[in-house]
Every structure is written in structure tokens, then in C-alpha cells.
Amino acid sequence: MSDTNGTSAYERWRQAVDAAPPPKFPPTTISGRTIEPLYWDEQNPGEFPGQFPYTRGVHATMHRGRLWTMRQFAGFGSAQQTNERFRFLVEKGQTGLSTAFDLPTLMGLDSDDPRCLGEVGRLGVAVDTLDDMQRLFRDIDLNDISVSMTINAPAIIIMAFYLAAAEDAGFDWKNLRGTIQADILKEFHAQNEIVFPPEPSVKLVIDLIEFCTHHVPQWNTVSVSGYHIREAGATAAQELAFTLADGFHYIDKTLERGLDVDDFAPRLSFFFNAHNDFFEEIAKYRAARSLWAETLRDKYGAKNEASWKLRFHAQTAGCSLQDKQPEVNLMRVAYQAMAAVLGGCQSLHTNSMDEVLALPSEHAVTLALRTQQVLAYETGITNTVDPLGGSYFVEQSTEEMRTAAQDYFRRIEELGGMMTAIDQGFFRNEIANAAFAQQQELDVGHKIIVGVHRFVEEEHKPLDILEVDPEVEQEQIASLRQIKESRGQDEWLRSIDDVRRAAENNENLLPSLIAAARARATVGELMDAMAEVFDRHTAAVV
């Protein structure tokens, strides 16, 4: 295979490897044997990593050149407590921060809303106003660390808060690196953090893409997520297909704003699950890369290689964790993480063994991070790129995943596209059927979970778990009340009116939201203002 200049795929790969900074020490096995950066069939070389369609990885040297980002999701209680946890993680060697918000924030409700009773600060950090956002990232160098924020329905408001907080702390938006999940489609398929109907919900995502493309160029605007689809019970093929279909829909809608695909596609990233079935997961990641690259190049006409490259974060499967013999979860997580690494992830979260019981304790979080460090520094799996490439089993599985996904793309198309398929409950039904089938397999004993169905231990040793201080809720509500009383009423009211007007005029909402953040409008107030224009999603969630 040669390109137009007559260089072979191998030569181009070699050039890329040579251009990359060499490893400090040539990688060897524990026994001292030298490991080459890549192994391939010289008779039938096939694809090379770092080249279209990237089945073998998006970079020529992959983890041999640069390790993945070890990014542990954290957040609980007040912004100040989470800020302390962030600084603890940075100290432990974590290279990216990942923010979990509490359920009220995820649903766009203020902490003092009666519907939030008992939920404030429980599963993540509570953010009501710009002040909370400022506290959350106090004394953290935002030029130096990439920040990930897991939020969807109110993502555009949280992004407005972050941009205001960063700018007020003296950081230039151009230098900010990070990711906001902002993937509302998978909420309609699986996770149900839904506030507005599908169409305005997607509009807000596209606003974010558009604004960041112009003003926050290093920011990953959407983390197109299969993780939650899988957690809801989908098969690996469904996770793959629905996630890519969501990504394509965001592209379609952004193109309608007149942006060039190469201006924004490089900033779309992905988030996949790392489940128990080792080889199927690896096949899934490999298939995802080639499907994305082909569609971006051939359907959307992207010319920039960065648009073709599917970069992804992986998280080990929360739904695979068990509350019986919870230490066994350490082993599950380790194998799942290994699949993600062999599948070529760019960043990874490893679940803590106690996450099925409560929020992870510091001890459990440290062990989860150590799991990644052992993979990176001791196992040697990073020494060569795509070590499973060329395996009959892995290659055929990759092909089967591709075919299954393409089949789903066709079915979605036949239904009339993404929005009609959502309206008809197509994704939810497919996922619910798969989840039920899996449960039946367990109930009849065709599948086994260790410690639950076999190898059961009667004696139950509870782990020490993290308890969230119930006072957090009261403190957060008190702080919110105080902010509501002390803010400038005229400016606050005007800023909310501006948001409403921008929504009515179908403008990009970020500028008015950033102004409203500074006027101390709350997440809940801003959601209400938008809901007046967009309506609330009340359709069936069965």
C-alpha cells in the first residue's frame, strides 16, 4: 500500500515513530529481551497504527510513546471538599481531574429545591452558582491540568460557570484543556438525566460546540458516551453503534450551523465502557476507530486527520461490580482496565472496589489508581503497539462488531433518523431487551458471577466506606440562600431575561449564560428560564 507520494504505509509509520521522542530506555521484558514498537505480517502488512482507519490505534507509538491519562472521577459534598480531594489526587500523581456533580446539579435543580431532599452533595459536588465553581478549582493551575466535567442536561450552564471562573482567576480560555460530557442523546437512550425535549436539548450541545470552536479551541466539546448505554444493559455492539450514531447526529446538526467539519470534529471525543468480556471489548474499541474514521472521511468529507481519529476515555464497568466479596472487584477492574489499554484508550478511570456500596473511600481510590500504574509500569503491555492485532480471534471479532454496528446504522436510518428513533423508543427498547436477556442468562445459570452464583462465602466482611456528612446539604442551602440575598437584583433579573430572549431568538446561549453566571444566577433559575422557551420533556420514559 503506497500513498500518492509512493511511500509505503510502513515507511510512513516508521517516519512517524522516528519523529516521536524516543523512549528514555529501550523497552525490554523483565528478562531483558528487546521489544519492537510494532509487530506485523511482512507478507501481508495491512494497516499501521497512526494511519487511516486507525484500527491499530490513533498514534504511531501509542502507549509506548505516551501513557494514557489516569483520570479518576471524583466529587462529593461541597465544592470545598471536592477541591481538597482534587488536590490530594494531583499529589498522588493523577494527571487529569474529573468532576462528578451531584444529582440535583445533573438535573439542573438548585440545592434548595424540595425535590432534592437527601441528594445534595451525595453522589458528587453541588454547584448552584459561580461561587461554587470558583471554590471547586481554587489553587488548581488550569493551564497545567486537563479538567473533565461529567454533566449533560445543564452542561451549557456549567461550561458558562467554568469559563467565567477561569477567566476571573486570570486564565486565558485559549489555554484551557478539558472535556465536558454534554452528550444529551445517550441520556435519552439510557441514563435519563433529561430536562428539555430532544430537539432543544441537542441545540444546546451544538451551541457549546460552536462557541468552543471559536473561543476555547483546546476544549473537547462533547464526550460522546457509550458508557451509560452499556451500564443500562446494552450489548457491546449496541454501545458501539448507538454511540457512533449519536456522534454522527452531532456532526449533522453542527454542519447545519455552517461550520466546517474539520473545525470541530477533532474536538469530539468518546467515552466507552470497559466490561468483563476481555476480547469483545478490545474488538469494540478497534471497530469504533475504523468506523468513525471511514465515516468522517468518506461521508462528511473531513480532510484533517485529526477529524478522523477517534480518541476515547474508558471507564471500567460499574455494573459489573458486586457487593458480595467486594475485594474481588479489584480483580474485575484490573482485567477490564487491561482491555481498555490494549484497546488503545487515551484516558482511563478505574472503578474503586467499594463503588457498589457507596462513594469510594480514599483507600479504595488509591488502589484503583495503583491498578492503572501497575498496568503502565509493570506488565509490559505498553511496550508494543496493538499487541493483539493479527490475532485471528481479535481481527474477526473486530469485523463482527463493525458489521453489527453498520446494521444498527441502517435500522436507525430506516426508522427516519435519530430523532424519530428516540420518539419511537427504539434505543430504549433495544437496550431493555438486552438487559433482560442478560438477567435471564444469570437466573438460569448460563452465566456465572464469582462470589454471587458460585464460590459464595457466607461470612460477610464489610468494607470501611465513605459516609457523606448530612450537614453538607444544610450548609450548601445556607450558602445558596446567602448568595441569593446578596446578589444585585436588577443585574440578576436582567441577565435571566437576556438568556430567555437569546433562547427565543434561537441564538447561541453561551454569551448570555456567562453574563448570568457573573450576575449570580443559579443553575435552577437558568434552567427554568430556558424551559419557558424550550418546554420540559414529559414524554414517555418507560
Which stretches of the chain bind other proteins, using CB under 8 A?
103-104, 106-107, 109, 115-119, 122-123, 187, 191-194, 231-233, 319, 321-324, 356-359, 423, 432, 435-436, 439-440, 442-444, 449, 452, 460, 462, 465, 468, 538-542
- Nearer to other proteins by Cβ, of 35 and 449: the residue is 449
Rg (CA), the chain: 23
Angle, CA of 352, 357 and 360, to the nearest 5°: 35
User: Cβ–Cβ contacts within 10 Å for residue 378, how many?
Assistant: 9
Minimal distance in Å, beta carbon 171 to other proteins?
32
| For residue 217, cis peptide bond before it (omega within 30 degrees of 0) | no
Contacts of 431 (CB under 8 A, 6+ apart): 189, 190, 229, 232, 233, 234, 238
Minimal distance in Å, beta carbon 7 to other proteins?
50
Cα–Cα nearest to 371, from 315, 333, 327: 333
Minimal distance in Å, beta carbon 541 to other proteins?
5
DSSP 189: I
- Nearer to other proteins by Cβ, of 232 and 348: the residue is 232
Minimal distance in Å, beta carbon 193 to other proteins?
6
- Nearer to other proteins by Cβ, of 47 and 102: the residue is 102
Angle, CA of 358, 362 and 368, to the nearest 5°: 85
Contacts of 460 (CB under 8 A, 6+ apart): 324
Residue 527 exposure: Cα atoms within 13 Å on the Cβ side: 25
- Nearer to other proteins by Cβ, of 19 and 117: the residue is 117
Q: Under DSSP, is residue 136 helix (H, G, I), strand (E, B) or coil? A: helix
- Nearer to other proteins by Cβ, of 132 and 210: the residue is 132
Give strand ranges (E) for 258-319.
268-274, 312-316
Minimal distance in Å, beta carbon 233 to other proteins?
5
Q: What is the phi/psi pair of residue 459, to 5°?
A: -70, 135
Where are the alpha helices (H) located in 32-184, listed in sequence order?
62-65, 79-91, 103-106, 130-136, 155-168
Single-letter amino acid code for the residue at 367: L
Q: What is the phi/psi pair of residue 286, to 5°?
A: -65, -45
| Structure-block grid coordinates of residue 225 | 458516551
| Structure-block grid coordinates of residue 465 | 466506606
Minimal distance in Å, beta carbon 119 to other proteins?
5
- Nearer to other proteins by Cβ, of 381 and 452: the residue is 452
- Nearer to other proteins by Cβ, of 24 and 460: the residue is 460
Minimal distance in Å, beta carbon 479 to other proteins?
20
Nearest-angstrom CA–CA distance, 295 and 303:
12
- Nearer to other proteins by Cβ, of 28 and 439: the residue is 439
Minimal distance in Å, beta carbon 358 to other proteins?
6
Residue with cell 509505503: 8
Minimal distance in Å, beta carbon 191 to other proteins?
6
Minimal distance in Å, beta carbon 107 to other proteins?
5
Does residue 506 contact residue 475 with C-beta atoms inside 8 Å?
no
- Nearer to other proteins by Cβ, of 323 and 491: the residue is 323
Cα–Cα nearest to 54, from 291, 241, 404: 291
- Nearer to other proteins by Cβ, of 168 and 413: the residue is 413
